[in-house]
Amino acid sequence: MRNASGGLARAVIACALVSGCAHGGTVLPPPLPPPGDPPDQAEVERWEEATAVFARHEAAGAWDGEACREALEAFERVSARGQRARAVYMNGLVAQRCGNDEGARQLFTRALELESGLCEARVAIGLLELDAGRTAPAREAFEQAVRDDNRCATGYVNLAVIQSRTPAERGEAIANLRRALAVQADFLPALNQMARIYLEQSEERPELLSLAAVVCRQAQLIDASYAPIYNTWALIDLAQGDLTRAVAKLDRAVTLDPTFYEAWMNFGQITLSQRAYDDAARAFGQARALRPESYDAAVGLGVALRGLSRPDDAEQSYRAALDLDGDRAEAWFDLAVLYHEHRDGTAEQLRQALELLGEFVQRARGEPTMAADLQDTLRWCGEPQQGRRARSACRPGRAEVIVRSLDLLGSAVPRPAWTVSP
C-alpha cells in the first residue's frame, strides 16, 4: 500500500496475476442437445424456461432464498429423460450460488455419474478445488475434462490458468487457450487469460505488452460489457505508466460488475497511490463487503481511512485485519504508524506505537514484501554523544524516532532489543 507509481504497477500486477484472484470464468448451462436421443419439444421448452430463470437471477446477482427455490424447482421440472445429468448439474450450480458448496459438489459428482463426459460438471468440481486452494486436484479435474471432451473450452481455459503460474508452462497455457478459441472463437475468458499471460511475460519481453492490449481490444469488440477484460486492460495501462486510463477501465469494470472483487482491489490500490482517499475507501469498502474475510481489503481500507483523517475508523479496520490473521505483519505496522503519526502524540500513544512495532518486527522477518518497512523500523543510528558527523550519514529508523520523542516528553524508555545499528 506504500508504493510509488513504478512500484505500485509491479505490486498490483503481481497481486492480480500471482495471487490466484481469478480463474477462467463461471461454467454456465450446457447446450442442448445432450449425447444420444435428441430431446422432444416439451423438454426443450422446459430447459429453456429453467435456464432463463437461472439467467435472470444470475444477472440480478441476488441469490436469496426465493431465488434459490425458484431456480431449483425450475430444473426439477426438466424431464429425467435426456437432460437428467444436465439438470442435476444445474441444480449443483444453483446450490453453489446459494452458498452450499458441499451440496454443489455432491450434485456435480452425481451429474458425472449420469454422464461421465459432462464437461461443465467436471470443470465445476475443478473450480471448487481451485477456489479452496487445492491446485493439484483442480488441475487433475481440468485435464480429465479435456480428455473426456476435446471441445471443453472451459477446461482448456482453467487448465491454462494453472499452467500460467509456472513460467516454463506458459507456452502450453497459450496453446490450451488457442484450443479453447478453436472450439469457440469468441470465448471471452480465453482471450482474457491470454492477455494476462502476455502481460506477465512482458516483463522479460516488452513487445508482448502491446499484444496483450490488442487481445483486450479484440475481446471488447466481441462484447463491450465483459467486465474482466477491463480489469486486465487496466493492468496493461498500469504497466505502461498510464494511471488515468487504468482508473477509467477499472471504473468501467466495477460499473459493469459491482461484485468484481479483484477490480475493486486494484481500483483501491491505484487511487490510494494517487491519494484519492475517498475513492480508495469506497473501493476497499466494496471489496470488504464482497469478501469480509479479506485481510488485504481490511488493511487497504484502514490506510484509506487514515488518509481521510479518520483514525478511529482506520484502527477498527486494522484490528479487523488482525482478527482475520494476526500472524501477518502489515496491519501491525500500519497500526504502529497510526499511533505514531496520526494520534495526539501523547507518551502513552507513542509507547503503544513502539509495542506495535515490536509485534510487526516479530512477523516481518523473512518476508520479502516487508523488507523496506522492516529496515526503516530497525535502523538505530546511535546515541547523540556519538557525534553529529557519525549521525549525519544515518537516518534514524522509526523505532529510534519514537524513543527519542518519548525522551523529549520525559518518558524515557530503553532502546528496543530488536533494533539494529548500521
pLDDT confidence of residue 18: 40
With beta carbons less than 8 A apart as the criterion, state whether 279 and 267 touch: yes
CA distance 389 to 287: 49
pLDDT confidence of residue 25: 58
CA distance 299 to 315: 10
Instruction: Decide if pLDDT at 294 tops 80.
Output: yes
Instruction: Decide if pLDDT at 51 tops 80.
Output: yes
With beta carbons less than 8 A apart as the criterion, state whether 177 and 212 touch: no
With beta carbons less than 8 A apart as the criterion, state whether 229 and 195 touch: yes
Instruction: Decide if pLDDT at 374 tops 60.
Output: yes
The amino acid present at 16, given as its one-letter code, is A
CA distance 422 to 376: 11
Q: What is the mean pLDDT of residues 191-200?
A: 96
CA 384, 385, 386, 387: dihedral to nearest 10 degrees?
80
pLDDT confidence of residue 61: 77
Instruction: Decide if pLDDT at 159 tops 90.
Output: yes
- Report the phi/psi class of residue 18: left, alpha or beta, with left for phi > 0 and alpha for psi in -120 to 50: alpha
pLDDT confidence of residue 20: 40
Round to the nearest angstrom and report the end-to-end CA distance of the chain.
26
Average pLDDT, the chain: 89
175: confidence class by pLDDT, cuts 50, 70, 90: very high
Least confident of 108-122, 326-340, 378-392: 378-392
340: confidence class by pLDDT, cuts 50, 70, 90: very high
Least confident of 51-55, 75-79, 311-315: 75-79
The amino acid present at 198, given as its one-letter code, is Y
Instruction: Name the one residue in this structure whose C-alpha cell is 522492516.
Output: 374
CA distance 70 to 147: 35
Q: What is the mean pLDDT of residues 161-186?
A: 96
Instruction: Decide if pLDDT at 418 tops 80.
Output: yes
Instruction: Decide if pLDDT at 307 tops 70.
Output: yes
pLDDT confidence of residue 21: 46
What are residue 393's phi and psi, to 5 degrees?
-85, 5
Interhelix angle 227-239/243-256, rounded to 10 degrees, is 170
Say which residue, 422 or 277, is predicted with more confidence: 277
The string of DSSP codes covering 71-102 is HHHHHHTS-SSTTHHHHHHHHHHHHHHTT-HH
Rg (CA), the chain: 26
Q: What is the mean pLDDT of residues 402-409?
A: 96
pLDDT confidence of residue 2: 46
Burial of 130 (C-beta count, 10 Å sphere; 0-12/13-18/19+) = buried
Instruction: Please state, as a whole number, how many other Cβ atoms lie within 10 Å of the Cβ of residue 315.
Output: 19
With beta carbons less than 8 A apart as the criterion, state whether 347 and 406 touch: yes
pTM over 0.95: no
Q: What is the mean pLDDT of residues 344-360?
A: 97
Q: What is the pLDDT of residues 86-113, one digit of tens each?
A: 889 999 999 999 999 999 999 999 999 9
CA distance 57 to 5: 40
Instruction: Please state, as a whole number, how many other Cβ atoms lie within 10 Å of the Cβ of residue 251.
Output: 17
Q: Is 379 helix (H, G, I), strand (E, B) or coil?
A: strand
Q: What is the pLDDT of residues 381-401, one digit of tens each?
A: 986 545 555 546 789 999 999
Instruction: Decide if pLDDT at 4 tops 50.
Output: no
Instruction: Decide if pLDDT at 124 tops 50.
Output: yes
SS3 track for 104-144: HHHHHHHHHHHCCCCHHHHHHHHHHHHHCCCHHHHHHHHHH
Q: What is the pLDDT of residues 20-49, one digit of tens each?
A: 445 565 566 676 555 555 667 877 888 889
Show Cβ contacts of residue 307 under 8 Å, excluding neighbours closer than 6 positions: 272, 275, 277, 280
The string of DSSP codes covering 275-327 is T-HHHHHHHHHHHHHH-TT-HHHHHHHHHHHHHTT-HHHHHHHHHHHHHH-TT
Q: What is the mean pLDDT of residues 308-327?
A: 98
DSSP state of 385: G
pLDDT confidence of residue 79: 58
